[in-house]
Every structure is written in C-alpha cells, then in structure tokens.
Amino acid sequence: MIEDDVIQAIKKARITHILHLPCERIRLLLKKLSEKFYSVPLSREEEGVGISAGLYMAGERPLMVIQSSGLGNMVNALMSLTRAYKLPLPIMISWRGLYGERIPAHKPMGERMEALLKALEIPYMIFDGNNLSDLENAIISAYEENAIAVILLKPDIWTHCPEFYLEPREYRKPEFSLKDGRAKFTRFEILNGIKDSLDGKIIVSNLCYPSRELYAIIDQPTNFYMLGSMGLATSIALGLNLAGKEVISIDGDGSVLMNTSTIFTAGLMSEEGLKIIVMDNSAYGCTGNQKTSAINADLALVGISAGLNTSRAFFPDEIKPMLESKQSSFIHVPVKPGNAEVEFIPYTPEEIKYRFMEAIK
C-alpha cells in the first residue's frame, strides 16, 4: 500500500512530529500518519509554520502535510520566519486542481503551484508513488540545508478511504469569573514589573515593540525575539511546549486576532507548561496605535473557549503567581496604549536563533 511506503520513507528521514490539515484525497495517509507519529492537528496552515519553528528549535524534526490551497495561507510566514531565521521545514502538499479535479475552486491555485514555488525560490519535487527515495531525500535535505522543501503529492495515486464519522460532542455551560476594571499600566511597565519572574525563562515575544521592550528590560539568550510573522508568537511557543519546554508567550491583541486558531490548538494540545500572556491595548502599537477590533471584545473569553486556564490581571504582582503554576494558562492583561522609547534589537535573525537554541538545550 502506497501510504505505508510513504510512512517508511518519512521514518527513515527521522521525522518526529506530523502537523496536518485534512484533505479528502489523502485522508487514509493522514490517518496512518496520525497513528505512527506525534500528531498535531492544525486549524490553519500558518500556525503550523510557527509550531514547526518551535519544535525544531527544541530539537525535534517536524513535517507539515497540507493541501495545495493552504500554501497561500502561509507564504508570509514561510518568508519572514522560516527563511528569515534559516529554519528547516519540509512540507508535503496534496496537489489539488489537476488530474481530473472536479472542484473548480482548487484549479487556480493548483495550476499555478509550480510557478508560485519557483517565484518563492522554494525547491520542490513531484511524488508519483514510485520515487520514494526522492521523497526521503527531500525531507533530509531540508534539515541538512536549513531550508524549506516541498513534496507535491500527485492526487491520483492514493488508496480510497471511506469518510470518518464522529459522535456529536456534549456542550456544557462554562463557569468562570474574571476581574473587571480598566488598564492601569503600559506594556513596558507590566514587563518591567514582572522582570524577576521572566529571568531565566524561555520566552517568545511578539514582533516589534514587545520584543524591543523585552530586550531593553531583560535581554537573555532564552528570549526568542520575533522580527516579523505577526500572529505567530504563541504558535512558536506552542511548538517549544510540545517538545517538552516550559514557555512564556508574550503576545498582543492584534496578533491574537490575526491567528486566533493557535489559542484553540494550544487548548487542545498543551497540558502544562505554556503561559500565554496577551498584552491587550486594543491597538496596533507598532503602526501608530490604530484601534484593533478587540476594542469591543473580551479576549479572555477566547482562552476560556479554548479550554485553557484563563485569568485577567491588571497589576504585575497579579501575574507573577500565575507564571509559577504548571498548568497551561491564558493570561489576559489589559494595558494602556503606547510604546516605550527603546532601541532596535541588534541581533540578526540567525543570531537570535542560534543563541536561543544553545540556551534551551
């Protein structure tokens, strides 16, 4: 069976984690992969790029398996995170839109897949069911060269698999209690107030001013500073956490809105050791404090909906005991808009990556 042969090739390439979204054509392959590897189901392809980055930096070897339409959802993340930091990422793509495709919406992307990969200078190979050694080598080369590598899976070679059926879940009314009030401190003041609790901890900080402010307050090798890829701070932190690390994500309301799915993936996958601190100023601070749509929303309810231990804090001293808990948590921190006058981070993406990986071994 072709699915079993592919799994053996992936095992030979020493893959540890499979990050995947569903595709009708390869559903039997995905089912078998989920049974043979550490399986991370995704809600959106972009979050998989961040989770893969965290897994790799913690010593694991992830492989993403997606549908061709999903490549468009992850282009910026591939360029501003994976390529910018020179991280390896093999991606197996179910190549829809060709070979008798009946769904017209798949055709525009599928027909342009090779042109897009060439434009992005991403090496790729086409797997036709016979070139298993090429598939294995493509995965291995991604890790040897710290690069992105794509395997396009022809859709007409896979074993037919019936649909999967699930029993409907039971819903229950959630019970929760959150503090009310108004923001009293800026993000910089909050970070400075919890400085001692951050000392020596593994931290992934959101791009732009959150990272720059963290650098000014407590620069340490265990800080992973994001320079781009808005929305992926918690995704990267989750990847590190799934590799067994205790991690703090310093995120923001604008970024959470951009990649909310990761909060739900964290609620599904993380059992302990992940702290998501959402600094909510209801503004895009890095671009001039324009309002975000969180201005009329309560982001703490996202954490509750995702099944995470959720709380709200207005003072630094309220956050500190929350960081000591082993349970994975979502900490909503309303803060005043505004950025501190701090310098740019002097490290290159590669320097950030290498000193971080060395520090968290």
Dihedral sign of CA atoms 302, 207, 277, 60 in order: positive
Burial string for 327-346 (b: 16+ CB within 10 Å, else e) reads: ebbbbbbbbbeebeeeeebe
Fold equal for 2-153 and 187-359 = yes
In CATH, the number for domain 187-359 is 3.40.50.970
287 pLDDT higher than 90: no
- The mean pLDDT of 171-199, rounded to a whole number, is 94
In three state form, how does the secondary structure of 205-269 look?
A: ECCCHHHHHHHHHHCCCCEEECCCCCCCHHHHHHHHHHCCCCEEEEEEHHHHHHCCHHHHHHHHH
C-alpha dihedral, 37 to 42 to 44 to 49, nearest 10°: -50
* pTM greater than 0.75: yes
CB 193 within 8 A of CB 321: no
What does residue 159 show for φ and ψ, rounded to 5 degrees? -70, 140
186-190, 285-289, 295-299, 352-356: the lowest-pLDDT one? 285-289
Percentage of the chain exceeding pLDDT 90: 90
* Span 325-343, average pLDDT: 95
The predicted model gives 295-315 an average pLDDT of 95
pLDDT in tens, 90-115: 999 999 998 888 899 999 999 999 99
Q: Which residues contact 103 (CB under 8 A, 6 or more apart)?
A: 96
Radius of gyration of the chain (CA): 21
Q: Are 8 and 233 in contact (CB under 8 A)?
A: no
Q: Hey, what CATH class is 2-153 in?
A: alpha beta
Which amino acid is located at 315 in the chain? F
Collapse the DSSP code of 125 into the 3-class scheme (helix H, G, I; strand E, B; otherwise coil) and give the result.
Answer: strand
Q: Are 59 and 243 in contact (CB under 8 A)?
A: yes
Distance CA(120)–CA(112), nearest Å, equals 12
Domain ranges for the chain: 2-153, 187-359
Poorest-pLDDT segment among 175-189, 250-264, 281-295 = 281-295
Nearest to 63 by CA among 43, 37, 85: 37
Q: Is the pLDDT of residue 5 over 90?
A: yes
